[in-house]
Chain A
């Protein structure tokens, strides 16, 4: 029983950060009806910004965290300008290709400025490890779970309890309808994009801190996690993205603990492939995204 429950607990704790990545992905997709494949690399830029600070003057965590979010927002702004607002009149898939091209730039940028390929990232040392009967909740897992859950709740409060949140959700419902109701769709769309990037940056802090290091591969990795969480949750539903992230986290850690390391990635990609095929079928091939 314990060898089933332990990975389940680990998976939920890891999956909470996938949920946060999925939420960022869903926010952009919901508002713009476009896929931002540079989402992971935007977060990567933020993590490297924080990591560079930590490398130059190790010590306090807060400036590292603040720089991580700021870097992600800045990179998000660049992606939004290049791949989304400049291409607003073209088909949605054009933005998707453009965002991948821009993500190549971001990935090369971090390797150019970083003094080494693997960069250190600080973690808080005051977190406990909790034992619940046979299950061990490690401190890095608790950090991911606690931080991601807090941020998810904050994001939901923003989206469901503020006027701004109403405007964003109106936009995801119907762009035209929202515009007729007096919502400034371009401004709200851009703002939602930046909020999503900030949420991605926050997820990046948690993931990087739990691994205590980061490599340029993080960019595509985070994109794939967020995309899978979003598609698992129904491509557009905010709550769905949260659930999708948890499912992905649990499936990955169960595969890891029962079959070994390589199966973890294999299962994750197989899951993405299966949901993409299933979603395409559900949309009757009709969704042009």
Chain B
């Protein structure tokens, strides 16, 4: 594989984690414009762990996910009960808060001859754990996709569990779910924390792929794209958001002549889908039909 293909595969894999985190919230009836905040916090935390504290690569990435989960818990404390436009407004504010806060965040330690660490608007350079541990890009990409496959399998199992059922009930009709005994605030808080962990995990993986993170990586466009991926690819299966990512990064970005028009096409695509196919390509009916086609014996 060429370097370009490898980097494309890696970027689709990383973006898929953020798309899945927005998807998880969407299933629970919550629209987030702020998953980029959890992504950036995960990226910074993972970078600090490996580059400044000398943690091994895997531990660093794990710390990124933990940071995302912790931020999710902090976010959920006042926001677990919020839904509709209030949740959306809260996530938008959160994402921008993270971005602006990172502009002032400085924490540098002398590593070898250089000062390394987050330096406000100048960003955070020198996250080199991938190279110092001798992992090639191909191996890293494979690792990302193995991790992604594990997360998708976990999500499928989770969505079939009681808890997943409860989360989807919130998405259908929260008042009815609460009337049936679903502890809405607790399920919502759990979903927010899990989504934060997923986005933070994506951030940790990204920081080590790019070796550089900056406040601009918490741009709201990342959050909106992540939300849109599920709506394009389909909400019926966790594979839907990943298909959405592949369509955007693999197709729209690869055609050079589309450069400059990408947002116009992508935004238009989302708008058209919301009118014509509001639950995406792989919506629930499509997934059921496919499942029947694969194993006809199931009812």
A104-B224, A105-B267 given; 16 more Cβ-contact pairs under 8 Å: A92-B85, A97-B270, A101-B270, A102-B271, A104-B267, A105-B263, A105-B264, A112-B261, A227-B92, A231-B89, A265-B100, A269-B93, A273-B93, A273-B97, A280-B79, A289-B84
Mark interface residues in A275-289 (1 if CB within 8 Å of B CB, else 0). Answer: 011011101111111
A283 contacts across to B, CB distance below 8 A: 86
B221 contacts across to A, CB distance below 8 A: 104
Which 5 pairs across A and B sit closest by C-beta, in order of nearness? Answer: A280-B82, A289-B85, A101-B270, A280-B86, A108-B263
Q: Contacts A97-B227, A100-B224; is A227 near B31 (CB within 8 Å)?
A: no
A286 contacts across to B, CB distance below 8 A: 175
Q: What is the CB-to-nearest-CB distance from A271 to chain B, in angstroms, rounded to a whole number?
A: 8
B174 contacts across to A, CB distance below 8 A: 285
Chain B interface, number of residues (Cβ within 8 angstroms): 46
Q: What is the CB-to-nearest-CB distance from B206 to chain A, in angstroms, rounded to a whole number?
A: 21
Q: Contacts A266-B97, A269-B97, A277-B90; is A288 near B270 (CB within 8 Å)?
A: no
B101 interface neighbour in A102, A108, A266, A280, Cβ under 8 Å: A266
Does B112 belong to the interface (CB within 8 Å)? no
- CB atoms of B31 and A101 under 8 A apart: no
- CB atoms of A272 and B92 under 8 A apart: yes
Mark interface residues in A245-288 (1 if CB within 8 Å of B CB, else 0). Answer: 00000000000000000100110011011001101110111111
Does B209 belong to the interface (CB within 8 Å)? no
- CB atoms of B271 and A83 under 8 A apart: yes
A270 interface neighbour in B93, B260, B266, Cβ under 8 Å: B93
- CB atoms of B85 and A96 under 8 A apart: yes
CA distance A173 to B290 in the complex (A): 46
Candidate in A93, A96, A276, A284 with the most chain B CB atoms within 10 angstroms = A276
- CB atoms of B275 and A86 under 8 A apart: yes
Does B78 belong to the interface (CB within 8 Å)? yes
Does A127 belong to the interface (CB within 8 Å)? no
- CB atoms of A269 and B268 under 8 A apart: no
- CB atoms of A101 and B224 under 8 A apart: yes
CA distance A285 to B78 in the complex (A): 12
Q: Contacts A98-B271, A104-B266, A281-B81; is A93 near B88 (CB within 8 Å)?
A: yes
Does B23 belong to the interface (CB within 8 Å)? no
Does B33 belong to the interface (CB within 8 Å)? yes
- CB atoms of A277 and B79 under 8 A apart: yes
CA distance A103 to B221 in the complex (A): 11
Shortest Cβ distance from B95 into A: residue: A269
A-B contact pairs, 12 of them (CB 8 A): A82-B271, A93-B85, A101-B266, A102-B271, A103-B267, A104-B224, A270-B93, A272-B90, A276-B89, A283-B86, A285-B185, A288-B83
A220 contacts across to B, CB distance below 8 A: 220
Mark interface residues in B89-133 (1 if CB within 8 Å of A CB, else 0). Answer: 110111011001101100000000000000000000000000000
CA distance A108 to B266 in the complex (A): 11
CA distance A96 to B268 in the complex (A): 14
B267 contacts across to A, CB distance below 8 A: 101-105, 108
B246 contacts across to A, CB distance below 8 A: none
Does A94 belong to the interface (CB within 8 Å)? yes
B83 contacts across to A, CB distance below 8 A: 280, 285, 287-288
A281 contacts across to B, CB distance below 8 A: 78, 81-82
Q: What is the CB-to-nearest-CB distance from A92 to chain B, in angstroms, rounded to a whole number?
A: 7
CA distance A280 to B103 in the complex (A): 29
Q: Contacts A93-B85, A262-B100; is A276 near B93 (CB within 8 Å)?
A: yes
CA distance A229 to B63 in the complex (A): 37
- CB atoms of A262 and B90 under 8 A apart: no
